[in-house]
Structure 1
Amino acid sequence: MAMIKVKVYDVGPPFPVNPTPVLWLTDENENMMLMLTIGISEAHAIKSQIAEDEEPPPRPMTHDLLKSVFENLGAEVEYIVITELREQAYYVAEIHADAHGRSVVIDSRPSDAIALALRVNAPIYVMEEVMAIAGKRMSKQKSVLDASDNTPDAVLDQINQAIKEKLNAAQPVTHDNNSLEAVKKQLQAAIDEERYEDAARLRDEIKKLEHNA
């Protein structure tokens, strides 16, 4: 399957407004856009590399340390790629590196891989299949981002609602043991991907299921 080269379009909403940042990726021609929810620390790590007015941290961040490790071991990051949308809930990425002529592939969260790629000027890719499934037309998404009546909260609400709909469509909730296990798996996925609002909602659902069991 072919890969599509992408770039970081933006990171938002502004952190003081809502604790769940969103990362927007676009193809080079800005025809398609892919949106990912990420953690606050990863958002800062990415934003520090793309924002002209962003002040560098006083001490190296985790991804700066990772860059130093690669450099001191004589390894070079060749590219990173978002390979999969797993269970319609979270994305999977790989860091492809060369270590003294040996190809190395490292499993990673997309946000960590992108933060590293920006620091070493490595290209960022998305598998064509992932973009076909989860990507949106840039013109439609840009209108959401730029519209004056869409505050960061409103944009995030739309994204969270879309995530909830995908979760519900993937694993409908019914009051039985199988459903309880399914929701617990969804909760773990939300925690791993740092989707805290979804995690809170799923914890409430688990309590209801256990109470009615």
Structure 2
Amino acid sequence: MSLIKLTIKGISYSQTQSGAYALVLSEMEGTRTLPIIIGAFEAQSIAIALEKEIRPPRPLTHDLFKTFSDRFSITIKEVIIHKLVDGVFFSSLVCEREGVEETIDTRTSDAIAIAVRFQAPIYTYENILDKAGIYLKIEEELAINETTDLDNNTIDIEDFESNIVKSNFSDLSVPELNEQLDKAVEDENYELAAKIRDEISKRS
């Protein structure tokens, strides 16, 4: 069965599950997207790895994994989302060290957080996209207005690119924004930090 390459499209706060996020993956050559429910910590970890410009004061768990792997010459070749059972996605990390390849079972959220740090490709199979994927409607604002039902929990995916953190910074000055940025990094709220940094960049 052939593999389908995916890319990270965005992260959206889940409106139906408190404290959860929907990680939206999109096939590279097609219009289907794959929404996966993940926890807040994993969402922050993925977001900070994607941003790259924001560095946490101390290494996150997935950063530690990357440092450990680099120290012992372990590379992550790819991540494969290979199974979907009762709304739960199962994934594997394909690792290599000194020419020896190993496959490790892992949670999908952890696998993707690690893949981003290694710049490793993410794949899934056609049957999983057929079962859980949704089609991206090409509209003027390229917004997703579809829903998918995983394990009887409906995930609303709307304007995910702007919904990572809902905050209004229009009333704050740049020095105040910088203070908020420092506090967000100190609190390890990296999604909020990314939003504040973007607001500061707009005013530069």
Q: Same fold (TM over 0.5)?
A: yes
Matched, 1:146 2:143: yes
Partner Cα separation in structure 1 for residue 136 and residue 30 of structure 2: 6
Shift of 1:145: 8.3
Is contact 2:24–2:33 with CA below 8 Å preserved after alignment? yes
Deviations 1:103-141 (CA, angstroms, capped at 9, x unpaired): 11000011100100100111111122211211111118x
Shift of 1:37: 0.3
Partner Cα separation in structure 2 for residue 166 and residue 67 of structure 1: 33
Structure 1 143/2 Cα, relative in aligned 2: closer, same or farther at 3 Å? Answer: farther
SS at match of 2:69: helix
Partner Cα separation in structure 1 for residue 76 and residue 20 of structure 2: 28
Partner Cα separation in structure 1 for residue 89 and residue 141 of structure 2: 22
Partner of 1:190: none
Matched, 1:35 2:35: yes
Residues 116-127 of structure 1 aligned to structure 2 (within 5 Å): 116-127=114-125
SS at match of 1:50: helix
Matched, 1:91 2:119: no
- AA aligned to 1:34 is L
Is contact 2:137–2:143 with CA below 8 Å preserved after alignment? no
Partner Cα separation in structure 1 for residue 78 and residue 47 of structure 2: 19
Partner Cα separation in structure 2 for residue 44 and residue 139 of structure 1: 27
Deviations 1:143-200 (CA, angstroms, capped at 9, x unpaired): 99837xx8xxxx9xx66xx235379xxxxxxxxxxxxxxxxxxxxxxxxxxxxxxxxx
Partner of 2:81: 82
SS at match of 1:58: coil
Partner Cα separation in structure 2 for residue 136 and residue 143 of structure 1: 18
Shift of 1:101: 1.0
Partner Cα separation in structure 2 for residue 109 and residue 101 of structure 1: 25
TM-score, normalized by length of structure 2? Answer: 0.66
Partner of 1:163: 150
Structure 2 residue ranges without an equivalent (≥5): 155-204
Partner of 2:72: 73
Structure 1 13/144 Cα, relative in aligned 2: closer, same or farther at 3 Å? Answer: farther
Partner of 1:55: 54
Shift of 1:30: 4.8
Shift of 1:74: 1.2
The total of aligned residue pairs comes to 153
- AA aligned to 2:48 is S
Structure 1 145/74 Cα, relative in aligned 2: closer, same or farther at 3 Å? Answer: same
Partner Cα separation in structure 2 for residue 69 and residue 120 of structure 1: 12
SS at match of 1:9: strand
- AA aligned to 1:80 is V
In terms of fraction of residues, the more helix-rich structure is 1
Is contact 2:91–2:107 with CA below 8 Å preserved after alignment? yes
Task: Give the share of equivalent positions with the same residue, in percent.
Answer: 28
TM-score, normalized by length of structure 1? Answer: 0.63
Partner Cα separation in structure 2 for residue 115 and residue 70 of structure 1: 14
